[in-house]
Amino acid sequence: MKISIFKPSENILNQWLSNRHQEAFSYSEVGATKADFPKGYNHDRNKCLLGTGDEVFEKAKKALQNWQHFPANWTKIYPNNGFKVNEEVVVLFHLFGLYWFNSCRVIYIIDEDNRFGFAYGTLKNHVEKGEEIFFLERDDTGKVWYKIQAFSQPRFWMARIGKPITRAFQRKFVKNSFEAMQHAVK
């Protein structure tokens, strides 16, 4: 993790990202969002209804591919050009007047008729450790659900000390992400 008082340029983000390619995951249970979440972590399972039908599902897929599920007013993903397995991304948060650089790597992608999304895991330079999956699911009635599921725990000392604040921002992220996806499918 890196903290800056200045908004990073694309050059700074590229430099940060180039140093992440060989970085290890910050946790050992890589891929565990596919099954039972491991013990010892906070477990979060959230979902919201986006609407019904093929058009909603296709719009939601496009929004997810373009990282529109990240609330633009206080988060940024770099690069923002879709997602690929084993690709690293900078997860940039703007909180308390500071820019917080965090690193994740895409672990797997779901691309099925009625399910679409991806999971990423935290790298050593992330304030938290764990894994998160963002995905869409269309049920038998045609309803399209957006789901965020994660297991995590604070890794950085400030996040451990301020765990209630960290958890509050995680809940805020989920709420804002739901709003962003609902807006994207209108």
Q: Which fold has domain 2-184?
A: Alpha-D-Glucose-1,6-Bisphosphate; Chain A, domain 4 (3.30.530)
Q: What is the pLDDT of residue 39?
A: 97
Residue (of 155, 107, 109) closest to 131 by Cα position: 107
Give per-residue pLDDT as tens, 105-163.
999 999 999 999 999 999 998 999 999 999 999 999 999 999 999 999 988 888 889 89
Q: What is the pLDDT of residue 156?
A: 85
Q: Which residues, 6 or more positions from 19, have their beta carbon under 8 angstroms from its beta carbon?
A: none
Domains of the chain by residue range: 2-184
Q: What is the pLDDT of residue 158?
A: 82
Give per-residue pLDDT as tens, 16-71.
999 898 899 999 999 999 999 999 999 999 999 999 999 999 999 999 999 999 99
Q: Which residues of 36-53 are buried (b: 16+ CB within 10 A; e: fewer)?
A: ebeeebbebebebebbee
Give per-residue pLDDT as tens, 75-113.
999 998 889 999 999 999 999 999 999 999 999 999 999
Reading the block at residue 185, the tokens are 């499918």
Reading the block at residue 5, the tokens are 């008082």
